[in-house]
Structure 1
Amino acid sequence: MRLTTLPAFQDNYIWALQAPDGRTLFVDPGQAQPVLDAVAQGMQPAAILLTHHHDDHTGGVAELRRHWPQLPVFAPEDERIGLECERVGEGARVSLPGFDFTVLAVPGHTRSHVAFHGHDHLFCGDTLFSLGCGRMFEGTPAQMLASLQRLAALPARTQVCCGHEYTLGNAAFARHVDPTNAALQRRQKEAQDMRSRSLPTVPSLLADERACNPFLRTSAAPVVAAIAARLGRAPEDEVEVFAELRRWKDGFRA
């Protein structure tokens, strides 16, 4: 299968996963035009997958439906997604000719956020980013940590397809937390090179995220030590490590 990033807005990515026959899944189309342009180049819309209700991930669907009224849309159970669609939640399957995805409930960024995993691809919206994670607009630290741990437990070869180009900013914070991590240093240099050539830094490999992403390393000694230094004491548990790490990131300026 062919995976394509379709840039939208300032730093969003719409994902297009194309089967050999041209049929294509589009994930989180916050704008319609990038999808229309891709279709003009030969992609054939097969379905739309939505990870959460935020407009920068859903805003293009209505216009796309005007072009393809019968186009299937799969979305989480959330009344804020005011579209005719098939609602999916934990454990559901999205099975279409040539495509088969499992739905994972990953609350934290929003209460109804879901991710889609299949064909060695993870469409995770704003839950997991390369070298970072999403802000907690509606969930608790315990919920968000559990969601991230679920995603981290997927096969190491999984391609992490997140919703935004945030890698360089996340790398700066991650290096501040975990400055001696050699894998992180390599990943930062790789991302800097890619952005210097106007290339997307994602998808990233889940194996690399496990090695580099501090939000997936809340039990790692260097991360725990960094949080203990901020708290002035040992953290009570992994949830407190994550909560303080997220607070730190929220106020971090490179």
Structure 2
Amino acid sequence: MVTISHWTRQLVRFGLLQARCCAFAVALVAGIAVSGPLPELPVARYDLVLLYGIGLAVLARKVGWDSARDTAVIAGCHLIGLAFELVKVRMGSWSYPEEALTKVAGVPLYGGFLYAAVGSYVCRAWHLFDLRLDRYRPRIMAVLAGAVYLNFFSHHWLPDVRWALAALLLCATAGTWVHYRVGEHEYRMPLALSFVLIGFFLWVAENVATYAGAWSYPDQLAGWQPVSVAKFGAWALLITVTFVLAAGAGSGRARPVPAAW
């Protein structure tokens, strides 16, 4: 018989595992927050945060948080994130108002670490929760994740098709389950639900990061305002890019659908 104390213990274990998964992201955002009120230094704040992010990445590798394969995935997320930032900042979606030596076309190089932190979370979760995918469709998911990424650029000039892509992702993930382990017990949830949950927590993290001065949206330049709820949906879509990278690199076990996907 399952008791309340059992579920309480499992919930605590789940929370502790999630905290371990978020270690890199929490350390990064905390470093950004601490750098804000520092007195004026010979090194620009954005440059200092870049050095801090590199130090965190090296530390994560040295202490065994990330494997060599995880590091490759995280580096890929960093580069994809920087490309994303270069376009979005140019289009005025958000900005980095402070000066820095390591700033290219208005984007500080540390900006890629914000996406690398998401990659670190996914890789860590795959290992710590012993994730396994059931009826996963790798090829169609790769195509749709690529389309999601490109749409975040192209919607500035072409019609925005994110809702159509969201519908296609629901179809592509229909019947796909994520199996995860907490202690000795295994659970499962629909893959689409995991995207929604991660998207929500990334939206919460984005509120924290903008409050800490990591970057600013146009309506935050005169003073901090909560990030639009629309960003919640955007993150729920964009997380598919990181997920496909991690799955393709073999971070976890997947049992694909036996069909020509």
TM-score range (shorter-chain normalised) is: under 0.3
TM-score normalized by structure 1? 0.25
More strand by percentage: 1
The structure with the larger Rg is 2
Larger RCO (CA within 8 A; separation ≥ 6): 2
